Chain A
Amino acid sequence: MLPDYKFSIRPLIVVGLVAGMSVACNKIVQIQAPPTQIAASTAFADNATAASVLTGIYDQIQGNGAFAGGLQSLTLLGGLSADELQLYSSTGFSANDVGYYKNAVPNSSTLLWSEPYKYIYDANAAIEGLKDSTAGVSASVRQQLTGEAKFIRAFFYFYLTNLFGDVPLATTTSYTVNNNLPRTPKAQVYQQIVADLKDAQNSLSPDFLSTDAVTVTVDRVRPTKWAATALLARVYLYTGDWASAQAQATTVINNTGSFSILANLNSVFLKNSREAIWELPPVIPGENTLDGQTFILTTAPNSIRPVALSSELVNAFEPGDKRDTVWVGNITRVGKTYYYPHKYKAGFVPGSTPTEYLMMLRLSEQYLIRAEAEAQQNDTADARKDVDVIRNRAGLPNSTVAADKDSLLAAILHERQVEFFAEWGHRWLDLKRTGTIDAVMPAVDAIKGGTWASYKQLFPIPLSDMQKDPQLTPQNSGY
C-alpha cells in the first residue's frame, strides 16, 4: 500500500544520509599530477631535474623543424629566400614555401616565428624557476643553468629580430603579459640580447658540461662561456659595434686549447669537431643531421628533397676552392647536373651511432667576424690575415683584393657566402645587414620567378598572431 502520510520524517532521514555521504565526496574529486608528468613546482627541486629542463630545450630544438634543418628550417628557407638554393618540385611542399623562394612570403603562421617563442618561454620559465628554487638546486648549477637559459633567450631573439624586424619582447612566463605585447624596436631587442649574453658569459662554465650540467665532457652540446662570447661577437658585428665585436671574437679565437681551424674540410662537421663552439646531437635514433637528409640528392630533386644549390652559389666559388668539391656534391640525372650542399655527409643510418652533430656556432665565423670588424675599423692588414686563415684552409691563396676597406668588406662578404652557404641562413642575413640586398636580389628574383621589393627583406608577422594580439600591429610595411 502506498502510505498516505501527510508528513513523514522518513524521507528526511534518507536525505540526511545522502548528504552525509556527500561530505565524504569532497575528497573524491581531488587529483594528483598524472604519472606521466611532473608539477612545475618539482621541476626545479634538485640539480638533476633542473638540468633536464635546459636539456629539454636542446632536445626540442633538434626534435622540431625550424632550427634543426629540414624543409621548414631557417637554413633551407633562408637559403631559398636568398640566392643559395633553388626550389625544384613545388608539390608536396606547401604554397608557403614556394612563397619563400619567390620572395612572396605569405602571412600565414610559420615555425620561424612560433618556435623561437616556445624556446623563449621555456628559457623564461627556467630563469624564473631557478630564481625561486633556493633550496634544491646548488648555487653553481643554478648559475650555469641560468646562464644557459639567458643564452638561449638571446640566441632566438637574435634570429627573430633579424627575420621579422621589431618583435615583441617576452621576458616573463605570464601569458596575460605576453599576449598583449606590442612590438619592441629592434634596437631595444638587441639591448636585451646583449644584456643576456653578458650575463651568460659571466655565468657559464668555460668547460663543456654533460647533461647533468656538472660533469666536464668532450661533447660540445651545452652552451659555454665561449658560445655566449661567440654569439656576442656576432651581435656586436650586426649592431656595428666593431671594437666590441673584434674583442669578443678575439677572446674565442685565443682559446686555442678548445678551438682550432681544421685543415681537413671533411672533419669540420664531424661530431665534437675542434671547430665547434656549440653543436647539438641528433635525438632521433639512427639520424645524423636533418640537413644531411634533406640536401643530399640521390635522384633529381623531388617532393621529398626539393632543393639544390643555385647557379649563383655554384658559380661563386673561385677555381681551386676545395669547398667547391668537399662541401658541394653533385648528381647527374637525365643530362642535368644538380649540385647540393654536402657539408654533412651522413644521412639516416638505422641502428648506427651518429658521426655528425648539428653545428650551431663554429670558429671560422669568429675569424670572419673579426676580419670584418677590423676592416670596418680600417685595420685592413689584420682583416686580411683573418680572411686568409679561412681561404688557406680552403686551399686558396691569400686574398689579392685591393686593400681598401670597401673592397675588403666585399671580399669578406663573398668569403662568408662560400664558407657559410646552407648554414643558418647566413647569406640572407648578411645581404640584409650589409645593405647589399637590394642590389643582389632583383636579378636573383628574375631567375626565381619573383619580383624583388626592398620590404621583402623582412618576413611578415603571422596574421593569426596579429588577430590574437591586436597590439602587434602594424604589420611590416609592404604586406
Chain B
Amino acid sequence: MKLTILFLLAACLQVSAKVRAQQMITLSQKDAPLETVFKEIRKQTGYTFFCRVEWLQEAKKVNISVKNASLEQVLNICFRDQPLTYTIVNKTIMVRPKEEVPKSSAGAEPPGIDLKGRVTNDKGEPLAGATVIIKGSTKGVSTDANGQFELKRVDGDATVVVSFTSYTTMEYKIKGLQFLDARLDLSTNTLDQTVVIAYGTTTKRLNTGDVSTLKSEDIAKQPVVNPLAAMEGRMAGVNIVQNTGVPGGAFTVQIRGVNSIINGNNPLYVIDGVPYPSGLPSGLGSPILGNANTSGAASVGNPLNYINPSDIESIDVLKDADATAIYGSRGANGVVLITTKKGKAGRASVDVNAYAGAGKVTRTVKYLNTQQYLEMRNEALANDGVTADPGYDYDLLSWDTTRYTDWQKQLIGGTARYSHADASVSGGSTNTQYLIGGTWDKQTTVFPGSNADQKGSVHFNVTGSSIDHRFKAALSGSYQSDNNNLPSLDLTSELRDLPPDAPAPFNPDGSLNFANSTWTISNPYTYLVRRYTNHTKNLVSHGELSYEVLPGLELKTSLGYTDLQTGEYTDAPTAAIDPTLRSFVPSSADFANYDYQTWIVEPQASYKVKLGGGKLSALVGGTIEQNTSQGQVLQATGFTSDQLLGNIQAASSIVVNAVTNTQYKYGAIFGRLGYSWMDKYLLDLTARRDGSSRFGPGKQYANFGAAGGAWIFSREEFVQKALPFLSFGKLRASYGTSGNDQIPDYGFMSLYSSTINPFLGSQGIYPYNLANPDYAWEINKKLEGGIELGLFKDRILAGASFYRNRSSSQLVGYPLSTVTGFTSVQANLAAVVQNTGWEFSVTTKNIAGKDFSWTSNINLTIPRNKLLSFPGLASSSYAGSYVIGQPLTIFKAAHSLGADSATGSYVFSDVKGNPTFNPTFPDDYTVLVDLAPKFYGGFENSFRYKGFQLDFLFQFVKQTGAIFISNELPGVEGIQQPVAVLKRWQKPGDKTNIQKFNEDYSLDQAWYDYAENSDGGYGDASYIRLKNLSFSYTLPSSWEHKLHLQNCRVYVQGQNLLTITHYAGMDPENPSVVPSLPPLKVITAGIQLGL
C-alpha cells in the first residue's frame, strides 16, 4: 500500500513547548474540510497526521467549536460519523478507514466499536485503577498506570460509567466515540471519602468491613485536648466516657462492649502505623488523673492526652472481623487508627488557629446547709438517745456552728481558662511534600489556686519520591511536652467530708488551719499546698520506604518508634502537715518516672493485578515489635528544708517504692487478599499468625483470620430499574477471629521480687506471683452483617449493622481466695462472653442549596452483653458476680423496701419476699442491676448559610447508675450529705426511702446494704447532652483577597453546654457513689487564618 505523506512533521524545537499545551485546543470551524481542521490541530499541538489523501475525499465536513479542549476531545468530534478512525502513536496521529463491520448474523460477535480512553482528575493527572464499565452490563475494565483503558466491541449507543475512589462517578454516552477523555472531580459524597484501614485505604463505598471515621473538620469544631473527647457521641458502637474533668484525666473506651471478663477491653491504638499504648503505668498512683477502669493493669490518666488533636487528619475505628482480624491478637476490642496531617503538593500555605475560652463544671450536687446539717446531726443524736460527746462530736462542740461554707463552690466552683494556638506550614512539589506545625495549649482548672496543664508540641511530615514515583520515602513525627500542675487530689472527692460548718481553711496569718486536728479527714487546702506535677514528653515517629519493583508490585517497609516519658512529683511540705503529727510524719516528696518505648518494623509487599475481569490486590507482610517499660517510684524524706523538697539529693532517706522494667515482644506475619469485580462484588480475606511474649513456651503463637464480602447491589441493572431512587446500596458481611493479649507480662513465669525496704541492711525477696504456664490467647469471633443505602442521589445515606462477637478462652486474672496467698492467677477461663448489637446511622442532606445547606446525622447503638456459657460457674470464684444468660455488667443486689415504717431502718426483701433487715448474700440478693448503657448515640446537625456555619451535636445515653452521692451513713459526725436525705424517716408510720438519722453506726450496715448492695442505690442515670456547639463565620473570598488571606474564619465553640437528666448525683456521664470532677462545660472563641 502506497502511502502519501500529506503532512510532514515540521521538526522544530517549538514543538516540545507546544506539546505541553496539547490539551488546550481552541477551534471554531463550520463545515470545514477535515484537512483544514487537521492543519489547525497540528499548528496548535505539534502533532502530525498520517493519512491517504483519497480517504479525506470521502470524509464529511466538520462542525466544531471548542475552547481549551483536549486533543482527544477534538479528534473525537472530528471523527464522529466519519468513515475514518485514528490511532495516536507518539506524536503522530495515524488515520485509517474504519474496518468494515460485518453485518450481524446468527452466532456472530455483536457489533460495536473499540473504545479507548483516559481517566484524569481535575488537575489533569492520570488516575490509575479507575473503573470503566458499560452501564447495564458486567463488561468493564480498569485503567492502567497512565490512566488509560480500552474496551473492545462497545455498542455505539452505550453509556460508560467511570468511577474512582474518592471521585465523583461520571457517565458518558459513547455515540460513536472512539476515545473517551474522562475527567473526574473529587467527590464531596461521604461514600467516596477515604477510609483508613489496616495497611491501606479504601472508601466507605467499597469497604467490606465496618469502619467509623472522624475527620479533622469535626475534630476542629471541638475545644478538646484529648482526641477521645472529640469522638464521644459521634461513632456508632464506640462508647467513650470521660472519667474526670481534670485536665489530663482518664477516659474509658469501649468498642462494642465488654469482651473480656477481667482483662483489658482497651482498643488497639495505631498512630500512622505505629502501635501506641492504651494505658499508662500507675506511677505515683495519683488519684487525681483518674483510673481507666477497663484496663486490666492499673492505669492513671490516658496516653492519648499526649496526642495533639489538631495534628490529626482522621480517626478511623475498625470494628468488625474483616477490618480488625489483620491485627490478629490485638484486634479483639477494635482498632483505632489515627492518621496525622500530611503536606500536599501545591503552593506553600500557612494555617494559623487560635482560641481562648472558659470552663465550669457541668453539674453540681445540692448539699445540706449548716442549718439542715445541724438538724440532721441533732436528730441523729436524739434518735440514738445520746448527747454530744466532746470525743466524737467535734462538728457540734468544737466548731463554730454558725459558720456556713459552700465547699462545692469553694473547691470546684472556679472557672477554668483555656487558651490555644496552633500554626502550620505545608506545601511541596509533586515529588516532595512537607508539613511543619506547632501547637501551644494551656488549660487551668476549676480548683482554687493556679493549677494548669500546659502543652507545647511540634509535628512534621516530609514525603519524597523519585522522579518516576517508583521510590518513595516518608518521615513523620510529633513531639509533645506536657506540664501538668494539679492539686495532689481531686477535691471533688473531699466534699463528702466537709460539713457546712467546717472551720475556715486558713488562719489569719495565711497558714493552714488545722483546727486542733478536728477536720473530718483533713483540711482540703492541704492538697493545694501539696503539689502534684506531671511532666510528660511524648515522641511519636514513623518512617516509610517503598519501591515499586514492577508495575503493580510494591515493596514497603514501615518503621516506627514511640517514646513516652513521664516524670511525676508530689510533695507534702511541713506546712501541709498537722502540727501534732509533725514529729511522726516528716515532710516528704515522691518522685516517679516512667519511660514507655515501642519500636516496630513492618516489611510489606503489595501486588495489584487484573484477573478474570476484576481487580485482585494482595498484601503480605510481617511485624516485629518490641515494647519496653521502665520506671521507678521513689519516696524521699529527711529534708533539711522544705525549700529543697524538689531536690532528691537533699533527702536523707530515699526509699524505692516500686521499680519496673518489663519487655513485651511481638512478631507476626500477615496477609490480605482482596478481589473486586466491577466494584460490584467485593471479597476480602485476611490472615495473621501472631506470636506474643506474654504467653509461655508452646502457647506463644496463634492464627487469626477473617473473610468479608460486599455486594453493591445498586450497580445491578435490575435494581437500578426497579428502585430508581436508590443511588447506592451495599450489603456486606464478615466473619473472623481476632485475639486479645492485654494481660500483664511474665504471668507464665514464677518470679521473686525484692522487698521494698531493707531488713537490718539486707534485702529480702518474696514470691511475686502465682505462675501459670498454660494460659493462651483469648479468642474473639466476630460476625457482622450490614446494609448501607444511599437514596435520592445519596442525599440520604443510611446504614445498619448487626454484630455478634463471642469471646472465649477468657484470659482472666482468675480471682482466688486469699487462702492461696494471692488474689488472682492469670488463666484461661472456659467462659464465652457474647456482645451483640445493632448500630444505625443516617446522614441526610436536608437542604443543599448554593447559599443554604442543612445536613443531619444520627447514630444509635443498641448493645447487649451476655455471658453465654461458663462451665462450673457455681463453684468458681465468679459465682457471686455473674449469671449465665446475663450481661457481665450486672451485679446482684438485694431488693430494697425503703425504710421500715415502724423502726426507720432500711428493710429489704429476702428470697421469699419477706422483709428482712439483714439480707444475706447470695440468697437474698435477687435483683440484677445492669450498669451497661441500654442504648447510646448522637444527633448532629450542620447548617450553612453563605459564610456562616452552625453545628451542634447531642449525645444521648440510656443507662442505670449509682444514684447515691454519699456512701456514708447520714447523721454521723463530720459527714456532709445531699439535701435528698432530708426526706428521712422521722416517726413510726413514715414511708420514705431514707432511713432515720443515726450516729452510733448501729444502722451503718443497713445504709451500706441499701446504698451499694440493693436496687435502692441505683437508678436512672440517662442523659442527653449538648456535647458540642460550633458556630463559625468564614469571610467571603473577595474580602479574603483584599486582606491577602487564603481563608479567614472566626468561631465560637462550646462543649458539654447543656445536660438534660434526672440524675441526682454529680454527673451522669460517670455515675459514681464517690464523685469525681465532672467534665467541664467549655466555651471558646477563636480565629483561623490561612495565609
Residues of A within 8 A of B (CB): 1-6, 8, 10-11, 14-15, 17-19, 21-22, 25-26, 28-31, 33-41, 43, 49, 52-60, 62-63, 88-92, 95, 98, 102, 104, 106, 109, 113-114, 117-118, 120-122, 124-125, 168, 170, 173, 175, 178-179, 181, 210-212, 219, 221, 281, 283-286, 293, 298-304, 334, 336, 347-348, 350-351, 449, 462-463, 465, 467-470, 472
Q: Which residues of B from 845 to 882 have beta carbons under 8 Å from A? A: 874-877, 879-881
Minimum CB–CB distance for B225 against chain A, Å: 34
State which of A10, A113, A117, A302 has its C-beta within 8 Å of the C-beta of B517: A302
Residues of chain B within 8 A (CB-CB) of A175 are 770, 816, 820-822, 825
**Closest 8 pairs (CB-CB, A-B):** A121-B821, A56-B764, A40-B750, A468-B877, A25-B667, A55-B764, A467-B880, A211-B762
Q: How far is the CA of A464 from the CA of B764 in the complex (A)?
A: 30
User: Which B-chain residue is minimally distant from A7 (CB atoms)?
Assistant: B611
B583 at the interface (CB under 8 A from A): yes
Q: Contact check: which of A30, A40, A336 meets B693 at CB < 8 Å?
A: A30
Report chain B residues within 8 Å CB of A53.
752, 764-766
Interface positions of B (Cβ within 8 A of A): 128-129, 142, 144-146, 390-392, 497, 516-518, 520-521, 550-553, 555, 578, 580-581, 583-586, 603, 605, 607-611, 618, 620-622, 624, 637-638, 652-653, 655, 659-669, 671, 689, 691-693, 700, 745-746, 749-768, 770-771, 815-822, 825, 874-877, 879-881, 921-922, 972-975, 1000-1002, 1004-1005, 1008
Q: Collect the chain A residues with CB atoms within 8 Å of residue B586's CB.
A: 286, 348, 350
Known A-B contacts A4-B609, A95-B1008; the reply to A219 vs B760 at CB < 8 A is: yes
CB distance from B283 to the nearest CB of A (A): 16
B760 touches A281 (CB 8 A): yes
Contact A8 B609 (CB under 8 A): yes
Given contacts A15-B620, A22-B689, is CB(A90)–CB(B517) below 8 Å? no
A170-B755 contact given A37-B768, A60-B766, CB 8 Å threshold? no
Cα A29 to Cα B700 in complex, Å, equals 8
- Could you tell me if B877 and A179 are in contact, using CB atoms closer than 8 angstroms? yes
Q: How far is the CA of A467 from the CA of B834 in the complex (A)?
A: 24
Once the chains bind, are B390 and A40 in contact (CB under 8 Å)? no
Nearest-neighbour CB distance to chain B for A446, whole angstroms, equals: 13
> Would you call A3 and B665 a contact (CB within 8 A)?
no
* CA distance in complex: A109, B1000 (Å): 22
Contact present for A40 and B751 (CB under 8 Å): yes
Q: Let me know if B517 and A299 touch, CB within 8 A.
A: yes
Give the one of B142, B550, B760, B975 with max A CB within 10 A. B760
* B637–A470 CB distance below 8 A: no
A2-B128, A6-B611, A95-B1004 known; A121 and B764 CB under 8 Å? Answer: no
**Is A470's CB under 8 angstroms from B879's CB?**
yes
B29 to chain A, nearest CB (A): 36
Tell me, in angstroms, the Cα distance from A31 to B749 when the chains sit together: 10
CB <8 Å contact, B665 and A283 = no
Answer whether A170 and B819 are a contact pair too, CB < 8 Å, given A26-B691, A52-B763, A88-B392: yes
Q: Are the C-beta atoms of A36 and B609 separated by less than 8 Å?
A: no
B692 touches A29 (CB 8 A): yes
Docked-complex contact A29 and B691, CB < 8 angstroms:
yes
A103, chain B: closest CB distance, angstroms: 12
Pick the contact of A283: B578, B608, B755, B879 (CB < 8 A): B755
A10 and B607 contact, Cβ closer than 8 Å, known pairs A40-B771, A58-B764, A121-B821:
yes
Q: How far is the CA of A334 from the CA of B657 in the complex (A)?
A: 40
The residue that A36 contacts in the complex, of B551, B578, B621, B753, with Cβ under 8 A, is: B753
Interface pair B757/A59, CB less than 8 Å apart: yes
In the complex, A210→B621 CA distance in Å?
A: 59
Contact of B144 among A2, A467, A470 (CB under 8 A): A2
B552 CB, nearest partner CB in chain A, Å: 5
Given known A-B contacts A2-B144, A34-B746, A179 and B520 have beta carbons under 8 A apart: no
The residue that A90 contacts in the complex, of B129, B659, B972, B1002, with Cβ under 8 A, is B972
| CB of B273, distance to nearest CB on chain A (Å) | 17
Chain B residues near A210: list those with CB within 8 A: 760
Report the nearest A residue to B584, measured CB to CB.
A348
A265 to B957, CA, bound (A): 68
Cα distance A281–B497 when bound, in Å?
A: 37
Shortest CB–CB separation between residue A318 and chain B, in angstroms? 28
Q: How far is the CA of A372 from the CA of B867 in the complex (A)?
A: 60
Subset of 29 A-B contacts with CB under 8 Å: A1-B145, A2-B128, A15-B620, A25-B624, A28-B665, A29-B692, A34-B661, A34-B751, A35-B661, A37-B768, A38-B751, A41-B750, A43-B752, A53-B765, A55-B762, A90-B973, A92-B520, A92-B521, A114-B818, A117-B819, A118-B822, A120-B821, A121-B822, A170-B821, A178-B819, A211-B759, A299-B580, A304-B517, A350-B652
Which residue among A5, A31, A462 has the maximum number of chain B CB atoms within 10 Å of its CB? A31
Known: A5-B609, A117-B819, A299-B516. A60 touches B764 (CB 8 A): yes
> Which single residue of chain A is at the shortest CB-CB distance from B395?
A91
Chain B residues with CB under 8 A of A43: 752, 765
Bound form: Cα–Cα A109–B819 in Å: 12
* A179 CA / B872 CA spacing, docked (Å): 14
Known A25-B624, A56-B764; contact A18-B759, beta-carbon cutoff 8 A: no
B128, B550, B757, B759: which has the most chain A beta carbons within 10 Å?
A: B759
- Shortest Cβ distance from B629 into A: residue: A34
Chain B: which residue is nearest A471 at the CB level?
B875
Residues of chain A within 8 A of B973, CB atoms compared: 90-91
Residues of A within 8 A of B877 (CB): 179, 467-469
CB within 8 Å for A286 and B653 given contacts A40-B750, A122-B766:
yes
User: Can you name the residue of chain B whose Cβ is closest to the Cβ of A110?
Assistant: B818
Closest to A280 in B: B759
Taking the nearest CB of chain B, how far is it from the CB of A173, in angstroms? 8
A117 contacts B691, C-beta separation under 8 Å:
no
A422 to B595, CA, bound (A): 46
CA separation between A54 and B1002, bound complex, in Å? 44
Q: B387 to chain A: closest CB distance in Å?
A: 14
Closest to A221 in B: B760
In the complex with contacts A285-B757, A286-B586, A449-B1000 CB distance below 8 A: yes
Complex alpha-carbon distance, A336 and B699, angstroms: 68
CA–CA, A36 and B664, complex, Å? 15
